[in-house]
Amino acid sequence: MGAKCIAVLTSGGDAPGMNAAVRAVVRTGLSFGMKVYGVMRGYNGLLHGDLKEMNMRSVSDIMQHGGTALFTARSPEFNTPEGVKKAAAMCREKGIDGVVVIGGDGSFRGARDLTGEGILTIGVPGTIDNDIACTDYTVGYDTALNTAMEMIDRIRDTTESHDRCSVVEVMGRRCGDIALNTGVAVGALTTLVPEIPYDFQKDVIDRIRLAQSTGKRHYIIVVAEGVGHTQELAERIQKETGIETRATILGHVQRGGAPTLRDRVVASRMGYHAVELLQNGIGNRVVAMKGEEIVDFDITEALEMPRVFDEKMYKVSAVLSI
């Protein structure tokens, strides 16, 4: 039987475009004749009944803003069997038979557990890191890429003026996608990612020397957060080459700002798809993007899929950026 009353929540780190996904879930649900609740502060709101009933106007004017209008949180209490049972009981009390969770892998584990307690639950991938194996794209990724690119372009202006080297750290704890793609977009001399171990002499110093021999006088090195030691790396480069080197950690600036067109559109399509599944009585699925298609996978299978690193892009980056 299809869901009649659904709830939507955002969980884990926020990502630009989450609001477009929330809006899509609310408006699709209402248009299907469902009752729709917005849950405040992720699974915490579900545990404590912090919900508000949504109407068509509840989600007006949110799509163009970064962050999440439903707020977000990480909930240690929900991550226990008792917590999941309590959240499911709260759903039953409110008559909620379907939940859409917008977030990352951690949030999907919660979605799977909630389905196990009899509440149909669907995950929508929302994280700037693009680190979810089952999908080619996560909501927020494109905005974060564009922000990082713009920031590094600015860093390049001053790096060039001073004939310096800049080491710039971008987000990505376990995944080098932001680093790799911004590295290509800004022409970074070297991009270091957590998926590929690097050799300081060969991948950093030798490339600087080679570029130097062709007349280059300023250097941008992009490092994914998961590689770490950004300040230390900058100091080593300066010591080894004599080139004045600065480190910049872009940090949470990458998580904010108005979502790009791509993030708004993909989030809208994914939100719609999630509610369609619930309407058909289907739960325990993750919405995903394969090529330009919106598809879905079993959550347990999705969580077990290995992530495939884009080796080709890594090669492209090494050849072009010299």
Feature table: binding site for Mg(2+): 105
Q: Applying CB under 6 A, which residues contact ligand F6P?
A: 13, 127-129, 171-173, 225, 255
Q: What letters, b where the CB count within 10 A reaches 16 and e where it falls short, cover 210-235?
A: ebeeeeeebbbbbbbbbbeebeebbe
Minimum gap (Å) between residue 148 Cβ and ligand F6P: 11
State the nearest-atom distance from the C-beta of 223 to ligand F6P, in Å: 13
Question: What six digits make up the tokens of 120?
Answer: 């149909």
Is position 129 annotated as part of the catalytic site? yes
**Residue closer to ligand F6P (CB basis): 83 or 140:** 140
Choice between 14 and 97, CB closer to ligand F6P: 14
Output 127 or 181, the one with its CB closest to ligand F6P.
Answer: 127
Q: Active-site residue among 14, 129, 177, 296? A: 129
Q: How far is the CB of 286 from ligand F6P (least distance, A)?
A: 17
Nearer to ligand F6P, 173 or 290 (CB): 173
Report whether 22 contacts 68 (CB < 8 A): yes
| Closer Cβ to ligand F6P, 13 or 66, answer by number | 13
- Neighbour count for residue 154 (Cβ, 10 Å): 11
Among all residues, whose Cβ is closest to ligand F6P? 13
Q: What is the DSSP letter of 41?
A: T
What is the phi/psi pair of residue 113, to 5°?
Answer: -65, -40
- The smaller minimum CB distance to ligand F6P, of residues 2 and 228, is found at 228
Nearest-approach distance from CB 88 to ligand F6P, in angstroms: 26
d(CA 211, CA 207): 6
* CB of residue 229 to ligand F6P, shortest distance in Å: 15
**Cα–Cα distance between 316 and 259 in angstroms, integer?**
27
Least distance CB 302 / ligand F6P (angstroms): 18
Q: Which residues fall in the annotated binding site for ATP?
A: 13, 74-75, 104-107
For the record, the structure tokens of 83 come out as: 């917590």
Where do we find the tokens 């209490």? 77
DSSP state, residue 59: G
Active site residues: 129
